[in-house]
């Protein structure tokens, strides 16, 4: 595997650029990021979780990123910040810059009539751009990307290879869409008549805001009538399904394999764990956390953390628990009958006094 491009920089300059406090020799030069366990002498590592603190003593990194509270745990030169993980993200972006794409339209690309492609955009081989579509400044369309008619791709958007954007969809500035994602396919809109299904035309679009990231093979369906809307700074992991007419609020993050049924409204700053299932026509409020593999079929009224999954058990224990679950209804009926009998007995005793 070819080496990742790196940039050499002193720790002092790095501290200034990421807004961290320098503790130690600012002339130390670092070229790459690394883990505490595997970093070499030209790397900077980070400590974001207390359970990895024992690794500080043995790390071979040139410098580390830690909280002020962990500063005394190592004598290495360091960057101090209350959020080491976010600081690491900024450092990694500086030390491992993405190579600039060469502007221009590859000879194998096909640009539809009336389309407007900014001269600073990069259009790679076998890209299709539909009629009257707009491609913004410095946008990058990877090999095999297909964009339908009347779509809008904002400035600095990066569509990785084989992304498909259907007609009349919009993607905001600086957003990233990874390979194989499909934006704007028809929602699952069907009407039943005499035992057969009638397809309902899906006439809305998809509007994705600025600074979003859409994972590989994620699908976002177009609206049935109004648009499906993904607000600014939403982060969607790989293989997520977003149904038609959903709305996902700004700064929400959703992990892989989540399924969201149509017309669900998810608030701002929501976090949803992997493989959670969200029912249709429900609302999840701002600042809610939904744990992995949780099933949400009713609207949530109050923000908080919601968990519906059952932790893994040895199979025999799981069988025992499952058998007890099957008896819960009968048990509840017996308890209700006993309570009713007790109330009647107490009533009779009261009358006899």
Tokens of 324: 């007890």
Residue tagged 């600014």 (tokens): 232
Question: Under a CB-based contact definition with an 8 Å cutoff, are residues 113 and 128 in contact?
Answer: no
Question: Under a CB-based contact definition with an 8 Å cutoff, are residues 186 and 169 in contact?
Answer: no
Residues 290, 299: Cα–Cα separation, whole Å: 12
Residues 231, 171: Cα–Cα separation, whole Å: 10
244 classed as catalytic = yes
Residues 258, 294: Cα–Cα separation, whole Å: 10
Q: Which of 244, 281, 298, 315 is catalytic?
A: 244
DSSP letter at 120?
Answer: T
Q: What is the dihedral of CA 259, 275, 303, 222, to 10 degrees?
A: -20
Strand order in the sheet with 63-66: 21-23, 78-80, 63-66, 43-46, 32-33
For residue 18, the surrounding DSSP H or E stretch is helix 11-18
Residues 247, 267: Cα–Cα separation, whole Å: 8
**Among all residues, which ones are annotated catalytic?**
244
């Amino acid at each position: 595997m070819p080496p990742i491009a790196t940039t050499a920089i002193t720790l002092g300059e790095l501290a200034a650029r990421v807004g961290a406090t320098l503790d130690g020799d600012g002339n130390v030069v670092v070229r790459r990021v690394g883990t505490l366990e595997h970093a070499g002498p030209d790397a900077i590592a980070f400590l974001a979780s207390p359970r990895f603190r024992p690794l500080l003593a043995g790390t071979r990194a040139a410098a580390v990123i830690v909280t002020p509270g962990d500063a005394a745990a190592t004598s290495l030169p360091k960057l101090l910040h209350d959020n080491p993980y976010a600081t690491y993200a900024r450092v990694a972006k500086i030390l491992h810059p993405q190579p600039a794409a060469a502007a221009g339209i590859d000879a194998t690309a096909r640009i539809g009539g009336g389309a407007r492609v900014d001269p600073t955009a990069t259009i790679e081989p076998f890209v299709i751009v539909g009629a009257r579509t707009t491609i913004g400044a410095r946008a990058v369309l990877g090999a095999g990307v297909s964009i339908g008619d009347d779509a809008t791709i904002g400035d600095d958007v990066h569509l990785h290879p084989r992304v498909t954007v259907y007609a009349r969809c919009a993607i905001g500035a600086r957003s990233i869409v990874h390979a194989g994602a499909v934006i704007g396919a028809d929602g699952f809109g069907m009407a039943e008549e005499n035992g057969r299904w009638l397809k309902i035309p899906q006439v809305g679009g998809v509007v994705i805001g600025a600074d979003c990231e859409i994972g590989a093979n994620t699908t976002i369906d177009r609206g049935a009538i109004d648009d499906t809307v993904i607000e600014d700074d939403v982060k969607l992991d790989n293989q997520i399904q977003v149904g038609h007419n959903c709305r996902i609020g700004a700064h929400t993050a959703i992990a892989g394999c989540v399924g969201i049924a149509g017309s669900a409204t998810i608030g701002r700053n929501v976090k949803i764990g992997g493989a959670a299932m969200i029912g249709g026509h429900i609302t999840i409020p701002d600042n809610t956390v939904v744990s992995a593999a949780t099933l949400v079929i009713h609207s949530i009224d109050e923000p908080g953390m919601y968990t519906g999954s059952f932790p893994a058990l040895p199979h025999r224990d799981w069988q025992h628990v499952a058998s007890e679950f099957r008896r819960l209804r009968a048990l509840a009926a017996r308890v209700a009958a006993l309570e009713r009998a007790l109330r009647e007995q107490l009533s009779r005793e009261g009358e006899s006094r």
